[in-house]
Amino acid sequence: MSGTVTVENLKRTVIRLFKIAGILSVGYSPAATAQTQSPPPARIKATLFENVRIFDGRSTTLSTPTHVLVKGNIIECISAEPISVEANTDVRIIAAGGRVLMPGLIDAHWHAFMAATPQLVLMTAEPSYLTLLAARQAKATLMRGFTTIRDLGGPVFGLKRAIDEGVMIGPRIYPSGAFISQTSGHGDFRFLFELPRKPGGPLSYTEAQGISAIADSRDEVRLRVREQLRLGASQIKLMAGGGVSSPPHNPIESTQYTEAELRAAVEAAENWGTYVTVHAYHPRSIQMAIHAGVKVIEHGHLADEETVRLMAEKGVWWSLQPLTYDTHMSAHMPAASRQRAVQVFEGTDNAYRLAKKYNVRTAFGADILGDAEAAGRQGAALVVLARWYTPAEVLRMATADNGELMALSGFINPYPGKLGVVEERALADLLLVENNPLENLDLVADPDRNFLIIMKDGKIYKNTLPK
């Protein structure tokens, strides 16, 4: 497939997308499009959960029987006493029967566009087809109880808008847009025929689709960061080292970008009130990123004690995944990637041990790529954390702690408000669970059975509570 993007190609792509949406056949207008879309769940003015035991996102125990009133998209009132509502108020009353109410789960390292779609398909299929696949996976993500995701690479701006406007169903998305990579870096997925890059020449296919952005030099990095901010990124993702899924020319031990280039990205992001997170595994690349002002490290499984101590001293977040050989090795993984994966898996236990020893702020993210079956086990990935943490610590990481990480996007936060907690005035992203996940964390691995109600932004998207 040609990497050249022409006006005519773009026009044909837009026309295909319009045909899929039904816009061309009816003429574009808000009324016409509304007739062709599946309506979002109707928003009741208020929802009253009666007789719930609350995991609030932070505590190690459940509350006593409690009542929770949601008005609009906000938790209005939490009370041990019955909550009265006005007789003329449109209120949905949910008799929870002592079940557990907890915050919606947050995945801090997800790829909405790429989690379930194989890499070869991503690099060759029509953009409209890929968007439809991503939309289907977004709904599945919400139905697994993940009401918010931090998307760390991929063209998800349109998907986010469609979800926010109620056109599609899915989680809140904190988008990074294209991940920024140096030439030959972890994000350089160009075909060989697209090299060498010619000054002023056309973008490669993956760049044109918004999957990656190649930048070499401080000025180019600064430009690419600003482009993603212009498109709506809430944080910026750079590749600072090699990775498991990298092409063969990209060793996992490599250090990518200079400190000056990383600092250029940090300055551009900070001017927009937000931050830079980097993909890195090895101590040298992690330390360089921290010295450049990066706020979050993705992965870092091969970090040594000196590096983790530096993370703690600088208050850097560690977005660390529970990657283990027995739960994450894929039969579809190329041989070179399998070799790198084994290195990472062997470092996982030590990484969590050091994170706990130095009390580093640790986030949960599943980071699943190109595997629909694995994407369906997103909750099971969270359960793996029980090897190092108590159920309460695991759930706090995936709710209140990850909610604080989302807030690092500052004044460009796409969802201002408190996420990941069951508190008055917090955003109403809630799960009603059949049993107690503080006693049995395995419940989150089977959301179809155990998450009876899934509410996001005050709207109920699933309700299988027995009548």
Cis peptide before 171 (omega within 30 of 0): no
173: β partners? 149
Q: Where are the alpha helices (H) located in 127-191, listed in sequence order?
A: 127-143, 157-164
Helix (H, G, I), strand (E, B) or coil at 62: coil
Q: Choose between 15 and 92: higher pLDDT.
A: 92
What pLDDT was estimated at residue 84? 86
Asked whether the beta carbons of 143 and 375 are under 8 A apart, the reply is: no
Confidence of residue 87 (pLDDT cuts 50, 70, 90): low
Nearest residue to 150 (alpha-carbon basis) of 405, 441, 420: 405
Confidence of residue 17 (pLDDT cuts 50, 70, 90): very low
Cα 421 to Cα 78: distance, rounded to the nearest angstrom? 12
pLDDT one-digit tens code per residue, 431-461: 999 999 999 999 999 999 999 999 999 999 9
299: β partners? 280
What pTM was estimated for this model as a whole?
Answer: 0.89
DSSP assignment of 229-284: HHHT-SSEEEE-B--TT--TTS-TT-B-S-HHHHHHHHHHHHTTT--EEEEE-SHH
Helix (H, G, I), strand (E, B) or coil at 143: helix
User: How deeply is 412 buried, as exposed, middle or buried, from its count of CB atoms within 10 A (0-12, 13-18, 19+)?
Assistant: middle
Q: Choose between 192 and 211: higher pLDDT.
A: 211
Q: Choose between 276 and 21: higher pLDDT.
A: 276
Q: Where are the domains of the chain?
A: 7-36, 46-104+420-463, 105-388
Cα 465 to Cα 363: distance, rounded to the nearest angstrom? 31
Confidence of residue 25 (pLDDT cuts 50, 70, 90): very low
Range of 121-135, 200-214, 261-275 with top mean pLDDT: 261-275
Alpha carbon of 140 to those of 127, 145, 160, 303, 383: distances in Å?
A: 20, 9, 15, 34, 18
Burial 49-86 (b: 16+ CB within 10 A, else e): bbbbbbbbbbeeebbeebbbbbbebbbbbbeeeebeee
Q: What is the percentage of the chain residues whose pLDDT exceeds 90?
A: 71
276: β partners? 236
CATH architecture of 46-104+420-463: Roll (2.30)
Task: Please give the CATH number for the structural domain made up of 105-388.
Answer: 3.20.20.140
Lowest mean pLDDT among 12-21, 327-336, 449-458: 12-21
Residue 129 has pLDDT above 90, yes or no: yes
Asked if the domains at 46-104+420-463 and 105-388 fall in one CATH topology, the answer is: no
The token pair that represents 136 in the structure block: 């289907």
The token pair that represents 101 in the structure block: 């109410």
What pLDDT was estimated at residue 49? 98
Asked whether the beta carbons of 286 and 226 are under 8 A apart, the reply is: no
